[in-house]
């Protein structure tokens, strides 16, 4: 693998009087503070999505950062592996020992969840291969259940049973991958289901929906259903349009 961050040396501690822009002035990873080294007091982690994925895009224009890292095209497994290579070099040069990730930070999401899972297995093997013999390890993993339009009404709080199954399947796979990579923890982002399901949206009145609401299903069962579905398109919102309709009626009536 060729060097990606060329002309950037390993960043070392040189003290507060250093004029070197590529040096730590106050962070000394080996300095012992209250019985522990600084690097153990402050175990920094590289966030996969910020460092290797985010390209500076905003609502007014396109991204300004090229994060292909030598890959011919973004959104490919070649690019996914290039991000691994770039991330490892980045962590080595900064002395960062941990990384954290969302599942689809690591690989491009496929139309079929079974293919997405296969890609996650492949990239997991690649990360283990590339970090073997280094001090780089996984701090935590999690699942991205907000970027895909299928989650427009939430993941655990969705009004659609099939979307709920996909969310559960993603969580199951993300936990498995985090364990495979030796993660110290797994992050469950906040969310609740009661508010939406208490309104008895139709899909949650099915047999599966009722069992989900009673807590009688398992991640494995829901993941199996998602594997059979393969994909879920953007759901129809059952609440937002209704409330907008109520508001429009009030406005148009003049009351």
21: which DSSP letter?
Answer: T
The tokens 């910020």 sit on which residue? 50
- Alpha-carbon separation of residue 34 from 31, 37, 41, 75, 110 (angstroms): 10, 8, 9, 45, 48
List the helix and strand counts (H, then E) for the chain. 10, 8
CA 142 – CA 188 distance, rounded (Å): 7
58: which DSSP letter?
Answer: B
Catalytic residue numbers read 102, 105
The tokens 């996914």 sit on which residue? 80
């Amino acid at each position: 693998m060729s060097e990606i961050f060329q002309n950037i040396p390993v960043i070392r501690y040189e003290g507060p009087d250093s004029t070197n822009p590529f040096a730590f002035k106050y962070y000394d990873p080996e300095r012992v503070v209250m019985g522990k080294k600084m690097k153990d007091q402050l175990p920094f982690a590289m966030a996969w999505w910020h460092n290797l994925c985010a390209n500076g895009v905003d609502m007014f224009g396109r991204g300004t950062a090229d994060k292909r890292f030598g890959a011919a095209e973004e959104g490919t497994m070649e690019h996914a592996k290039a991000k691994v290579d770039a991330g490892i070099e980045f962590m080595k040069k900064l002395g960062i020992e941990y990384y954290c990730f969302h599942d689809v930070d690591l690989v491009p999401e496929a139309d079929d969840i079974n293919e997405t899972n296969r890609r996650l297995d492949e990239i997991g093997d690649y990360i283990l291969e590339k970090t073997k013999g280094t001090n780089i390890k996984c701090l935590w993993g999690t699942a991205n259940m907000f970027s895909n339009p299928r989650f427009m009404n939430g993941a655990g709080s969705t009004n659609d049973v099939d979307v709920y199954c996909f969310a559960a399947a993603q969580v199951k796979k993300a936990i498995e991958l985090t364990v495979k990579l030796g993660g110290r923890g797994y992050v469950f982002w906040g969310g609740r289901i009661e508010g939406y399901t208490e309104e008895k949206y139709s899909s949650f009145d099915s047999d599966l929906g009722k069992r989900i609401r009673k807590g009688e299903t398992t991640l494995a069962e829901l993941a199996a259903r998602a594997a059979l579905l393969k994909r879920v398109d953007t759901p129809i919102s059952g609440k937002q349009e209704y409330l907008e309709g109520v508001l429009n009626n009030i406005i148009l009536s003049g009351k």
